[in-house]
Amino acid sequence: MAVYTPKNIPTHERLIFALDVATGAEASAWIERLGEAVSFYKIGLELLASGDYFSVLHELERRGKKIFADLKFHDVPATVAAAVKGLARYPVTFCTIHSDSRAMLEAAAAVKGDLRLLAVTVLTSLNQADLGDLDIRAELASVVTTRARQALAAGFDGVVSSAHEVARLRSDIDHRLICVCPGIRPVATEGTLADDQKRTLDAAQALRAGADYLVIGRPIRLAADPRAAAEALQTSIAAAMQTI
């Protein structure tokens, strides 16, 4: 396969802030606090449970932000397809679906419209031992590659995977695959943040491996100056892209 060439994505949009908060009021405060430092937001299950999910979605739209609906749909094919079809009516760029059923993936892809679907390969909170607990004996990287190949064949646009697996995806999978990577940590705090991520890299390492988008939450939220932290990450991303 040819050497991977980065996709033509506006550099500022490669950073996706994980808006993992419990209420719409908190979400609005973060959107205001980060201002122009962030132009792409992930909204997920915690916010969904608040009842404020779609009001935040529309606020992001009004502010000209891009939206990643990280809802990780997983059900029988008809139910997942109905959920995707409904979500496709909203101004959402990405939506996530678990990847362990080809029939489910194909049903979702058939109704996605302009919505770009991402298959969740192996959660970044899992490692090889965790897969063993699930009686999955294959190498973790092989599981990610197999699920990514299946998702692309089913009509998906990309995957969510750890940055550790991206280089292998780039060598083994068609380069049109979009790779969105959570678990990104700044070098200065690598291994020091108390969280549930087990497979992490810093922003520059992930981009050089072939990541298209980086999902970053705690390193910004827990910073003394979150906006300055986001701006520093944007600078790091821009610098890394100039070397690729």
Residue 72 is among the residues annotated as catalytic for this protein = yes
Residues 43, 78 contacting (CB under 8 angstroms): no
* Catalytic residue, candidates 42, 65, 72, 198: 72
**Residues catalogued as catalytic:** 72
